[in-house]
Structure 1
């Protein structure tokens, strides 16, 4: 079989490497507290910018995922333990960094009855105990559709509930492992039903073979379950063994898709080649809250 020619990376995907004092300090702190970040584990292209600005996305429940999604660089296998002290260490690190907005995600833990939901809840509570005014955003797996597990997380009252559909419906089974497109939409719908005032958020990565109209349909599907915030970014192949890049999406197309998202009623759309789910998360939330406030004020005048 003829090997596929590798696409050349365009100029707009150049990444600034900023390994200053903050970068080194955060890296040392993560090691010292035996913590993991999705920034490192998933090889995020924004790690240099974010760590230099003293922001990081904590990854709880260890660093071994029970799934093997074709786009993700996180290690896969069978986890051997559950660290019940991890929530406190995450809270300590967040306090040490002086965070105003803390993002917490995890590997998938299908080996646990609740998928790790109780550790998510404990982490939210630990951060709130140390930092009452810090917003806490959680990026959760689908818990295999376990509604009770989702309820555990929602009862801990995160400020933002994030769950990514990752791609369009046609490609979902090829791109993701075990996760189902419709199940992800149902999770977002259930989260909103449980806590209507907590904003929900999702993300789509582009460049894996989706068509433009399919992206718009995915937006419509997310809005149908009242998803409030959307992020759109370019898929980057972490290793040659992962899903190949079908195309590089031009910044102009990302800008057009942002307009389409806003027209559909998302309170905020973060759209660009290097955008990731938690990239500029604090600013995303501020923008969404401001848009929501304006919408409420507009309704009151009518």
Structure 2
């Protein structure tokens, strides 16, 4: 299946890539931009932004859509990593810092304490910066999630990825209801904005997408991202459909009708795409509502 024209992106500038990679390598850091083969890497690296990926680059799960390396022997936790992330964020002069991780089911807390330390290190290095974390499901452990909530990031994001019917084929080690429960707990904490993302093109039906969006909004998510699934290799789940940009626009309008505060929907959209702008718009819209 050939990629349509709306999914063709310019090749990244090699100088931009080299500069960012040099800085990241100096701190022994990983980014999801590189590890997940993000199609927007050229745009983001040219603007000196990235999504830091902590806890190594080997995931303990084997989701059938993801390009990140997986295995049962992930890297040891790097205790210096929080400081290295904070230092790199400061070097880039980031006003909005996004941090994600591989899933670490081998760790008792799923890596929650490491997330908290990273958030705290960023706060110390960049007191004015906003922080968004994109976290795994932590095996549903509320005590682990509480550590991240209490660290105070502005946004806690967790991807639902696809409709429940496709979980067994696409993300067999995840549980749809567990992910919804995590987002509900983030929202009810009252401390953070809950955000989620889904992909299209995996074989989902219209009514399934609509119900998934309703489910995500029902647990209190205020921000939703919707993007096109792109197959990382022939060994991954096949692309069942390329979704036209007009259809993404339709889903954006539906999401606003359902009640989301901010929606980013399009073929090239990924979880952290324009995350800072999305947060700013959410904050402004909620401030206007509170003044009414």
TM band (smaller chain): over 0.9
Distance of 2:161 and 2:291 partners within structure 1: 33
Structure 2 residue 272 is the aligned partner of structure 1 residue 278:
yes
Q: Is the 8 A contact 1:23 1:54 kept in 2?
A: no
Question: 1:120-159 maps to which residues of 2 (within 5 A)?
Answer: 120-159=115-154
CA distance in 2, matches of 1:80, 1:156: 24
Structure 2 residue 182 is the aligned partner of structure 1 residue 187: yes
TM-score by length of 2: 0.98
2:257 maps to 1:268:
no
1:19 has 2:19 as partner? no
8 Å Cα contact 2:58-2:75 kept in structure 1: no
Alpha-carbon separation, structure 1, partners of 2:30 and 2:149: 23
**Do the aligned partners of 2:152 and 2:191 also contact (CA within 8 Å) in 1?**
no
- Please state if 1:165 is matched with 2:160: yes
Deviations 1:108-139 (A, max 9, x none): 00000000000000000000001001111000
Q: Is the 8 A contact 1:39 1:57 kept in 2?
A: yes
Partner residue, 1:118: 113
Tell me if structure 2 keeps the 8 A contact 1:118–1:153. Answer: yes
Q: Which residue of 1 aligns with 2:194?
A: 200
**1:59 correspondence with 2:61:** no
Give 1:297's aligned residue: 291
TM-score, normalised with respect to structure 1:
0.94
Residues 165-220 of structure 1 deviation map (CA, whole Å, 9 limit, x = unaligned): 000111122111311111000000111222x1411100000000001111111111
* 1:102 corresponding residue in structure 2: 97
* Aligned-pair Cα RMSD in Å: 1.0
Q: Distance in 2 between matches of 1:177 and 1:16?
A: 34
On the 8 A contact 2:186/2:193 being kept in 1, the answer is no
Corresponding position of 2:70: 76
In structure 1, the gaps of 5 or more residues are: 1-6
Distance in 2 between residues matched to 1:177 and 1:130, nearest whole Å = 38
Partner of residue 4, structure 1:
none
What's the secondary structure of 2:100's corresponding residue?
Answer: strand
**Are 1:90 and 2:85 an aligned pair?**
yes
Are 2:43 and 1:49 equivalent residues in the alignment?
yes
SS of 1:44's equivalent in the other structure is coil
Equivalent pairs counted in the alignment come to 291
